[in-house]
Structure 1
Amino acid sequence: MSGQGAATAPVLLLLGCDFSSAPTRRKPVTLAVGERVGDAVRLHQLLSFATLDAWQQWLAAQPAWLGGFDFPFGLPRALWQAWQWPADWEAGMRRYAALERRVLRERFKAFCDARPVGAKFAHRATDGPAGASPSMKWVNPPVAWMMHAGVPRLLDVGASFPGLGGLRGSARVALEAYPGLLARELIGRRSYKADDPARQNEARQLAREDLLARLQATGSLRLKLHLELQPAQHALLLADASGDSLDAVLCLMQAAWAQAQPRPAGASGYGLPAHMDVLEGWIVSA
């Protein structure tokens, strides 16, 4: 017999991404890379990228991945309609990315100024169930800039966005994740991270210890998955007081849950609801 054999499919990597729209060596984009084995999620490695170009190049070099990315994938439908943009998600995201942030800030502010007190920002349908900030928010946290920086780069590496657009049938699949959703399910609203060294205290370290213990406990999650770590990985996640590494792992858990969900014909799959708005997107597992 010939030794050629059939071509093997590329190995699917599971990714969780803690994102920054302006990464630096001190505050990089962090990727958790792993796999799901039954009910276990095994962390393989944590990667850091000090530039968006380096992050994008790494994603483009991997032939197959399913990733949970911690930034919004869509604008609120109310804002989309107010701007009178055509109802095409990818075209809208390309248009959004082409606008300078100064221009977007002015448009966001004009939209908010025309709305009543207490309802200045428009929300997506997923924001409530996930407890997430409005995707049009440009400060505290600046998730609008994260979307502005992240979504077009995922499109450029040929990712598909289930329920939205992108390169359908791609072996690179992008899902919107949100680590705060999972963290609150496990430890409530206890703070477990801080970028400011002055706020990196014992209480937050204890919260990280509890969060890691519950992630590793079999059956402790609504997601019905548990995290498998090596001792050195546990120590690293505990020591990272910024929480970036732990947030990447939380996104990895959400991606693993999505991978385990059925994908019926004619549906988006990955646990995304049938009623998902095709302009707004949905936070996976919300």
Structure 2
Amino acid sequence: MQILGCDFSSSPGRRKPIVIARGRLGPEMRSVQLAELLGFATLDSWGRWLADERHTPWIGGFDMPFGLPRELVETLGWPTDWQACMDHYARLSRAQIREQFKAFCAARPAGRKFAHRATDGPAGSSPSMKWVNPPVAYMLHAGVPLLRAAGVHLPGLQPAPEQTPARVGLEAYPGLLARAVLGRRSYKSDDTARQTPERRQARQELIDALEQGRAGLGLRLELTQAQRRALEDDAKADALDAVLCLLQAGWAACRRQEGDMLYGLPPGRDTLEGWIVTAGALGGASH
């Protein structure tokens, strides 16, 4: 089965492209084999690749939020149906998003400025309404419309299709998997001055753990020596983050249908907010 991992940027360019890691589940679904890394310098080129029938079928993990906190949506009076909410959100400009979200935060007490989704706790993720450091609200605004336009099915947010979808997208978060190995140690930086030997050592330890299946997903990462060197040398870790999302997508692919759970997503999750795949589930067996 073909799986994807995507490290996303809402403002990609030549120096900071969107990165897709393509791979496959190995024998008996106990490993993930990395096939190639692809870079996209524009949102349009990324969207066209996703929509290209030649690359299907696939299950992908995407490092961007797929939904907003219910508390935020209800306070702003936006539609609470996910598809209608995303339609409304897509019509806003980034300036309008920032203005409305800043006003929401300004009306709240210190320490509770941002609203959170239920998945943020177990995932340790930033609130999806943040517009800076990191600007995940803009990632949702830029990425989800292109996923929808490409015909990607987003389980738990859209109605179940009548036929098996050719493209399945799941919200992933590489920091969740990295912390399972490194704790709070940093393994990357976009700032050249902070691309230290200590961060390189952390990347090496993280890759070791992924190759040995010690990241808590019950899956081993299979790399060539050249691929491993490329991941170690990438001080920004865009490619490594895409590979972490690839492993999360592989875990979900092993659980396409498991009792009343689809793709490992917990039952009872909020169908407006969405859920980060593997959040609350690290340590499970792969099959």
TM-score range, shorter chain: over 0.9
The equivalent residue for 1:281 is 274
Distance in 1 separating the partners of 2:90 and 2:159: 15
Matched, 1:214 2:190: no
The equivalent residue for 2:182 is 187
The equivalent residue for 1:33 is 22
Q: Are the equivalent residues in 1 in contact too, given 2:2–2:25 (CA < 8 A)?
A: no
CA deviations on 1:52-78 (whole Å, 9 max, x unpaired) are: 111111111123111100010000000
Structure 1 or 2, whichever has the larger Rg, is 1
- Scaled by the length of structure 2, what TM-score is found? 0.92
What is the CA distance between 1:87 and its match in structure 2? 2.2
The equivalent residue for 1:101 is 94
Give SS of 1:15's match.
strand
Q: Are the equivalent residues in 1 in contact too, given 2:258–2:264 (CA < 8 A)?
A: no
What is the CA distance between 1:222 and its match in structure 2? 1.7
Runs (4+) of structure 1 exceeding 2 A deviation are: 166-170
CA deviations on 1:82-116 (whole Å, 9 max, x unpaired) are: 12222210111121011001111110011111111
Find the partner of 1:176 among 165, 171, 174. 171
What is the CA distance between 1:268 and its match in structure 2? 5.2
Query: Which amino acid is the alignment partner of residue 245 of structure 2?
Result: C
What is the CA distance between 1:226 and its match in structure 2? 0.6
Distance in 2 separating the partners of 1:139 and 1:238: 28
Give SS of 1:161's match.
coil
Distance in 2 separating the partners of 1:268 and 1:103: 37
Query: Which amino acid is the alignment partner of residue 30 of structure 1?
Result: V
Give SS of 1:43's match.
strand
What is the CA distance between 1:118 and its match in structure 2? 0.6
Q: How many residues align?
A: 273
Give SS of 1:17's match.
strand
Matched, 1:20 2:9: yes
What is the CA distance between 1:261 and its match in structure 2? 1.4
**1:167–1:26 CA distance, 2 compared to 1 (3 A):** farther
Give SS of 1:134's match.
coil
Matched, 1:223 2:217: yes
Distance in 2 separating the partners of 1:26 and 1:217: 31
What is the CA distance between 1:262 and its match in structure 2? 5.0
Give SS of 1:144's match.
helix
Distance in 1 separating the partners of 2:103 and 2:192: 36
Q: Are the equivalent residues in 1 in contact too, given 2:90–2:141 (CA < 8 A)?
A: yes
Q: Are the equivalent residues in 1 in contact too, given 2:50–2:150 (CA < 8 A)?
A: yes
Q: Are the equivalent residues in 1 in contact too, given 2:3–2:246 (CA < 8 A)?
A: yes
Q: Are the equivalent residues in 1 in contact too, given 2:70–2:80 (CA < 8 A)?
A: no
Distance in 2 separating the partners of 1:85 and 1:51: 30
Q: Are the equivalent residues in 2 in contact too, given 1:158–1:166 (CA < 8 A)?
A: no
Alpha carbon RMSD of aligned pairs, Å?
A: 1.3
Query: Which amino acid is the alignment partner of residue 257 of structure 2?
Result: R
Q: For structure 1, which runs of at least 5 residues remain unmatched after alignment?
A: 1-11
Worse-matched range after superposition: 54-63 or 271-280: 54-63
What is the CA distance between 1:281 and its match in structure 2? 0.3
The equivalent residue for 1:165 is 158
Q: Are the equivalent residues in 2 in contact too, given 1:64–1:172 (CA < 8 A)?
A: yes
Distance in 2 separating the partners of 1:25 and 1:268: 39
Q: Are the equivalent residues in 2 in contact too, given 1:158–1:167 (CA < 8 A)?
A: no
Give SS of 1:75's match.
coil
Give SS of 1:174's match.
strand
Give SS of 2:60's match.
strand
CA deviations on 1:200-256 (whole Å, 9 max, x unpaired) are: 0100000000000000004x1321001000000000000000010000000000000
The equivalent residue for 1:45 is 36
Worse-matched range after superposition: 159-168 or 245-254: 159-168
Q: Are the equivalent residues in 2 in contact too, given 1:77–1:124 (CA < 8 A)?
A: yes
Distance in 2 separating the partners of 1:268 and 1:102: 38
